[in-house]
Amino acid sequence: MVDRIIGKIETGKPGPTVVFFAGIHGNEVAGVFALEKVFGELDKLNAKIRGKIYGICGNLKALASNKRYIKEDLNRLWTKSNIKKIAIKEKLSDEEEELVSLMVILEKILKDDPGPYYFIDLHTTSSKTLPFITINDALINRKFSANFPVPVILGIEEFLDGPMLSYINQLGYVAIGFESGQHDEAISITNNIAFIFLTLVFARLIKKKSLPEFEVYFNQLKDASGDVSEIFEIIYLYRIQNGEHFKMLPGFESFESVSKGMPLAMSDGFTVESQYKARLFMPLYQKLGDDGFFLIRSIPYFALKLSSFLRKIKFDNLLVWLPGIQWESREKEILRVDLNTAKYFTGPLFHLLGYRIRVMDENYLRLYNREHAAKTEMYRGEKWY
């Protein structure tokens, strides 16, 4: 049985706090093995470590059963409304109990330990894949992710409700996911080890010169990613419905190019075709899970630079001067857009300005701002910023 705390290093020297999560899905054990290995090496490294480092196990019950989850996906429960409901429930499901245990640890870290904070969630996929990073598209996440020689995927929170990192990101902190490879491949552990050590260097808990294998770890990820280091955004998700018999066609890998109309899967005896010319992302080759596959496209460099500029000058404040657009609250975290007005705008425009799109009802869109919650000042003094 794996313990909740895989490892903890507290040197007493002032510095950031880095928290690694692994095993949020119980069939994804590469991150657990990697953290056990890293903490063993850190004890022997005797490097001048500053700050605090945590390694935390996610779904202990699912890990013990080697299943993605017992009753429900732990990585889909982290919405504010759901957490409020769990807080007053008398009887909790297995995953709800796991969430409560993790919340206690998270709240204690944020209360007792110094910032800046970095939260890293280690995962693997059911299909073959290059290693990659997933982030909510806040500039602090984008800037920190740029240190790593792997592709970065933006916008997953627009398609999924309740990932743990989205909850942490809404609190304002750097929170990134790392997918190291296919579930049972040995290289998934190796890639995780490299990523963990690089994180500790980039977050300045370990000096680069104190880690002789820095270049080895960097090149490990660079080679494993096939020199693909673009930033992509998700443009489509095939969501599996209750009772649907879905099966990916064999042999697909993440980041594989697909053409519009290309057969990708079977659903209830019918062919599921690609809706776009794009790259396939995280095709589902396991029984549990509702996300059949994603499609992604690379984002042009000029669009990334433009979005960064528009967010810094708070260009979105001008939108409320237009009819049909208003702030939903004084905190200016949510724009409410009349659907009649919204048809004159495009999703990419709102993405440029740092908003994720959610349909509110038949009359309005609710657009959640990624930047307003970000505790940018906490990270402004960091070298990577």
Pick 372 or 63 by higher pLDDT. Answer: 63
**For the stretch 340-356, what's the b/e string if a residue is b when 16 or more beta carbons lie within 10 angstroms of its beta carbon?**
eebeeeebeebbbbbbb
Model pLDDT for residues 199-230, shown as the tens digit of each residue: 999 999 999 998 999 999 999 999 999 978 89
Burial class from Cβ neighbours inside 10 Å (0-12, 13-18, 19+) for residue 88 reads exposed
**pLDDT for residue 152 is more than 90:** yes
Range of lowest pLDDT (16-30, 257-271, 285-299): 285-299
**pLDDT for residue 192 is more than 90:** yes
In order of start, what are the domains of the chain with their CATH numbers? Answer: 5-229 (3.40.630.10), 232-298 (2.40.50), 308-369 (no CATH)
- Stretch 110-115: mean pLDDT: 93
**pLDDT for residue 357 is more than 70:** no
Q: How many CB atoms lie within 10 A of CB 164?
A: 23
Q: Tell me the pLDDT band of 344, cut-offs 50, 70 and 90.
A: low
Q: What's the pLDDT at 161? A: 83
Q: What's the pLDDT at 182? A: 94
- Cis peptide leading into 151, omega within 30 of 0? no
Q: At a CB cut-off of 8 Å and minimum separation 6, what does 113 contact?
A: 17, 52
Q: CA-based angle 379:383:384, to the nearest 5?
A: 75
- Stretch 278-283: mean pLDDT: 95
Element (H, E) at 55: strand 52-57
Instruction: Name residue 174's amino acid.
Output: V
Closest by alpha carbon to 160, among 135, 194, 125?
135
CB 325 within 8 A of CB 337: yes
- pTM for this model (two decimals): 0.92
**pLDDT for residue 5 is more than 90:** yes
**pLDDT for residue 340 is more than 90:** no
Pick 332 or 256 by higher pLDDT. Answer: 256
Q: What's the pLDDT at 314? A: 85
For helices 214-224 and 186-202, the axis angle rounded to 10 degrees is: 130
Can you tell me the distance from the alpha carbon of 127 to that of 228, in angstroms, rounded to the nearest whole number? Answer: 18
